[in-house]
Structure 1
Amino acid sequence: MSNRTIIDWPAWTGSPAGKYVLGWEQEQLDRVVSNMFGYHALQLGLPQLDALRENRMPCRGLVLDAASASSAPYTVPGAHAPSDLQLPPAPHAPAGRSTVWCDHLDLPFEAQSVDLIVMPHTLEFTSDPHRLLREAERVLMPEGQLLIVGFNSLSLWGARQSVAKLTGHPFLPAREDLIAFTRLKDWIKLLGFELERGRFGCYRPPLATEQWLGRYAFMEAAGDRWWPIFGAIYMVSATKRVRGMRLVGPLKVKKPVLAPSLKAAATTPSPTRNKDS
């Protein structure tokens, strides 16, 4: 695990920049997950964002990483954490969610048992993002949905993060390096997912005050039209495809067709007796 300075998520989400980012993400997730159906839905990490708020699946859970709880405060009131961790309560946790503490790299769910997984900035807080994606692929059902939200390294926010981490004062709350959108697409395709859509947002410069962020509000419409891939945030929607899958039922044994009996090609009439003989 890296020893670099990590910004506290709850503190950052309460800042003007954090409110700006989470506001856009909440709006986009509310719109997308409302049209996803099934029975089981999971949100991995970031309880400050209620990613499943508008989803209508009957079983919705929040999965928090116990292994990194001491350095990334994913805490929820009333959640049962491991006995060796002393976790303070977090007032921003979504209400009405089943909470599971586990290792994100070893999810305690059966294979092909989940219909929807949402990972809001989860890949930026894990030491092995590719392994986490493999775990998501394992537990998702065929045709299951995967939603990933992350900071875009190819943006002004990503550039500021790269410069600021050299001085030990990062601007964004990420334990690991930001993942480029193009790299993430390659990982998704290698795991058998089909990219449904990608969405970028938050085009204002990485400013710390609400006043300055407000002055650049005009960049939202301009960025969405002229430089969409340089938004500070990306949201990826993908579907798990299982190639060559077919239904298997009881084997039906077909009886061989018997050849029809041979008949004479021509019938010779029997000789007629002469009545006079």
Structure 2
Amino acid sequence: MRPARIQEVVASPYSWQDLPLGDWLLRQQQTLLDEQLPRIFGYHILKVGSLSAELSCHVSSVRHQLNVARESELAGVLAKPEHLPFQESCIDMCLLAHSLDFSKDPHQLLREVERVLTADGYIMLSGFNPISLLGLRRYVPLPRKGLPFSSRMFTPSRVKDWLNLLGFEVLSDERFAYTSFVNNRPAPLWFERFGRDYFRMTASCYFIVARKRRAPLTPVRNPRWVKPRIAATSVGG
């Protein structure tokens, strides 16, 4: 298993158009996002990364939405996603579209998201799956330095393990894009349906929704440990 933290710089896309089938990928993830957003309530939504900034959260009732990225025309705050310049417990939902795929330290990125999320806050993230036609492309003796073949690619199960360790409850895990991204056309609709029904683990992309679960600071005491109160009784004269 490759280490999650690396030292070298990871070339990341500036927009969805930098990826093969970028417009199609954007539409697929926008559809999945629109299905989840109505459950989000609160005051602030944070989009992490340039790809997240291009996704719309207009169907959500949360009106204040902020974009943070290293560089992006849509970013309201320019900063490293691994070091978010926000105080603790102030964000109700974080969106990470392929942010882990292009992060030098995905553990630190998730820790920062957990830090800024409120109790019971949501995280929605997408990524490329190495156990897929896209992942197998790495082992073909052809040029593979371009996007998305040069991305990190972590398995959905590994990402869910990281989320569980940080105290998140995974609510949804959707799979899509049964293609190698070599051609300029997405897989036919019937092939997508066939893949979801019978080869779900081999999808090239995943979309995970999780919710932060914080244990109460004051534990519930066992009733046997509580001393009974002495009832005051009147004394007859």
| Count of paired positions | 222
Q: How far off its partner does 1:35 sit?
A: 2.7
Choose from 71, 76, 82 the match for 1:105: 82
Aligned to 2:163: 188
Choose from 206, 213, 219 the match for 1:234: 206
Aligned to 1:206: 181
Q: How far off its partner does 1:33 sit?
A: 1.5
Identity of aligned residues (%): 27
Structure 1 residue identity aligned to 2:189: A
- Rounded to whole Å, the distance in 1 between the matches of 2:184 and 2:49 is 26
TM-score (norm: length of structure 1): 0.71
Given that 2:49 and 2:69 are in contact with CA atoms closer than 8 Å, whether structure 1 keeps it comes out as yes
The structure with the largest alpha-carbon Rg is 1
* Alpha-carbon distance change, 34 to 170 in structure 1, aligned in 2, over 3 angstroms: farther
Aligned to 1:19: 23
Q: How far off its partner does 1:209 sit?
A: 2.3
Aligned to 1:169: 144
Given that 1:107 and 1:135 are in contact with CA atoms closer than 8 Å, whether structure 2 keeps it comes out as yes
Structure 2 residue identity aligned to 1:163: Y
Q: How far off its partner does 1:229 sit?
A: 2.2
Aligned to 2:57: 52
Q: How far off its partner does 1:204 sit?
A: 3.3
Choose from 47, 72, 77 the match for 1:75: 72
Given that 1:45 and 1:63 are in contact with CA atoms closer than 8 Å, whether structure 2 keeps it comes out as yes
Aligned to 2:117: 140
- Rounded to whole Å, the distance in 1 between the matches of 2:9 and 2:82 is 20
RMSD: 2.8
* Alpha-carbon distance change, 153 to 101 in structure 1, aligned in 2, over 3 angstroms: same
| Unaligned 5+ runs, structure 1 | 66-73, 77-92, 248-254, 264-277
- Rounded to whole Å, the distance in 2 between the matches of 1:29 and 1:170 is 29
Given that 1:62 and 1:99 are in contact with CA atoms closer than 8 Å, whether structure 2 keeps it comes out as yes
- Rounded to whole Å, the distance in 1 between the matches of 2:12 and 2:89 is 35
Q: How far off its partner does 1:135 sit?
A: 0.5
